[in-house]
Amino acid sequence: MTDLTRPDAKPARPFFSSGPCAKPPGWAASRLATGSLGRSHRSKIGKARLQYAIDLTREVLQVPDTHRIGIVPGSDTGAYEMAMWTMLGARPVTALAWESFGEGWVTDAVKQLKLDPTVMRADYGSLPDLGSVDWSTDVLFTWNGTTSGVRVPDGEWIAGTREGLSFCDATSAVFAYDLPWDKLDVTTFSWQKVLGGEGAHGVLILGPRAVERLGSHTPDWPLPKVFRLVSKGALAEGVFKGETINTPSMLAVEDVIFALEWAKGLGGLTGLMARSDANAAALDAMVAARPWLGHLAADTATRSKTSVCLTVEGADETAIKKFASILEAQDAAYDIAGYRDAPPGLRIWCGATVDTADIEALGPWLDWAWAQVRSN
């Protein structure tokens, strides 16, 4: 037993998972448009809805006309691997990893594509030395490391005039940070993070230099059909106009249209970033007030404001599991244990679909649940 009483007020929406993330406020399955369901995705309506999702993405993210936006199979993993498999091999590669997802792209480059990349690593909580990246090489990196809560500070470290291409996995960054599109040759993400959308599809954004690479470079390895962006020697432009390579889930497309319209209604990217910033600030205030909580990412300039990873004094993996499951059983917080490969701790999603009042309501619950864990 502890002398802390269980708080009364619960977060109204206790959805703090770092992916799939909370649905936008007001979301309900019954609010999704369904006119494209049960129809061919190549019908007039199917193609129009896919194109609309692309157009909304461009508008909300302020993607310039120089860049193409395509919806591809396989969620973010599919989009990023499609880019790796189609464009790498033309020049040396540098792969940056400071947590699990970046490490996954290193594994692809080393073990699958056998590219012998220069690998620049850092431990959970830190970044590699971005200033020493060689931009004559193709560079693989993750904007926001979802499992360590460490992100790159901005795009200043990406050379304006680079010979190599930049490959940015922006899954837990896009819609929460202002991305410098002129510095990003390849950007990928999935809808299941900041937009609270569904898995299954990835988004691939290609700058002009990436398109040029696709036209001038033929990989040495075979390409499965779902990776093919070039047809008869030319870019398959249809992919960037809603003519997907294979059959998409129109339900997932309608779901992301709902989220993108919500985002547009907030004022687009500025509105989304303001919500994420407010959530991260509320969580930070909660951490500052509790000596037993800390940030895994020590440097505020590179600390995530979406996947915020917290240390818990004296907690091992077992204690964290217990901590998270007590909160889940109370419907006070779902899915807040840190990622399985990360140091034991909590991970609380602060992306735009979460309401700040729910982050604030979490504080007393963390106190209460931690007291329960410690008293046993």
Nearer to ligand PLP, 171 or 279 (CB): 171
Least Å from the CB of residue 80 to ligand PLP? 7
Residue owning tokens 């004559």? 136
Least Å from the CB of residue 99 to ligand PLP? 8
Nearer to ligand PLP, 15 or 368 (CB): 15
Q: Where are the alpha helices (DSSP H) in 233-342?
A: 250-265, 269-288, 317-329
By the rule CB under 6 A, 172 interacts with ligand PLP: yes
Q: Which two tokens stand for residue 227?
A: 């990776």
Stretch that binds ligand PLP, among 44-52, 69-77, 288-296, 355-363 (CB under 6 A): 69-77
At a CB cut-off of 8 Å and minimum separation 6, what does 248 contact? 41, 50, 71, 73, 200, 201
Q: Which residues face 230 on adjacent strands? A: 235
Percent helix, strand and coil across the chain, each to the nearest 5: 40, 15, 45
What phi and psi, each to the nearest 5 degrees, are found at residue 28?
-150, 145
By the rule CB under 6 A, 75 interacts with ligand PLP: yes
State the sign of the Cα–Cα–Cα–Cα dihedral 300, 301, 306, 307. Answer: negative
Least Å from the CB of residue 372 to ligand PLP? 29
Nearest to 143 by CA among 342, 354, 348, 306: 306
Least Å from the CB of residue 206 to ligand PLP? 18
Least Å from the CB of residue 271 to ligand PLP? 22
By the rule CB under 6 A, 180 interacts with ligand PLP: no
Nearer to ligand PLP, 94 or 304 (CB): 304
At a CB cut-off of 8 Å and minimum separation 6, what does 363 contact? 286, 289, 290
Alpha carbons 32 and 252: distance in angstroms, whole number: 10
Nearest to 230 by CA among 215, 212, 208: 215
3-class SS of residue 203: strand
- Give me the 122-151 binding string for ligand PLP, x by CB under 6 A, dash otherwise: --------------------x---x-----
Give the CA angle between residues 113, 117, 119 to the nearest 5°.
125
Q: Which of 14, 76, 175, 248 binds ligand PLP (CB under 6 A)?
A: 76
Stretch that binds ligand PLP, among 70-78, 218-226, 308-316, 341-349 (CB under 6 A): 70-78
Q: Are 349 and 17 in contact (CB under 8 A)?
A: yes
Q: Which two tokens stand for residue 52?
A: 């609309």
- Determine the size of the site formed for ligand PLP (CB under 6 A): 13
Q: Which of 17, 166, 187, 190 binds ligand PLP (CB under 6 A)?
A: 190
Stretch that binds ligand PLP, among 74-82, 116-124, 275-283, 313-321 (CB under 6 A): 74-82
Q: Which of 17, 36, 57, 77 binds ligand PLP (CB under 6 A)?
A: 77
User: Which residue type occupies 105?
Assistant: W
Nearer to ligand PLP, 259 or 332 (CB): 259
Stretch that binds ligand PLP, among 168-176, 208-216, 244-252, 289-297 (CB under 6 A): 168-176
State which of positions 4-23 bind ligand PLP (CB under 6 A): 19
Nearer to ligand PLP, 104 or 268 (CB): 104
By the rule CB under 6 A, 166 interacts with ligand PLP: no
Alpha carbons 71 and 60: distance in angstroms, whole number: 16
Alpha carbons 300 and 150: distance in angstroms, whole number: 9
Stretch that binds ligand PLP, among 34-42, 57-65, 167-175, 206-214 (CB under 6 A): 167-175
Distances (CA, A) of 211 to 66, 86, 120, 230, 234: 10, 11, 26, 10, 10
By the rule CB under 6 A, 171 interacts with ligand PLP: yes
Q: Which of 36, 166, 192, 353 binds ligand PLP (CB under 6 A)?
A: 192
State which of positions 277-306 bind ligand PLP (CB under 6 A): none
What residues make contact with ligand PLP under the rule CB under 6 A?
Answer: 19, 75-77, 101, 142, 146, 169, 171-172, 190, 192, 199
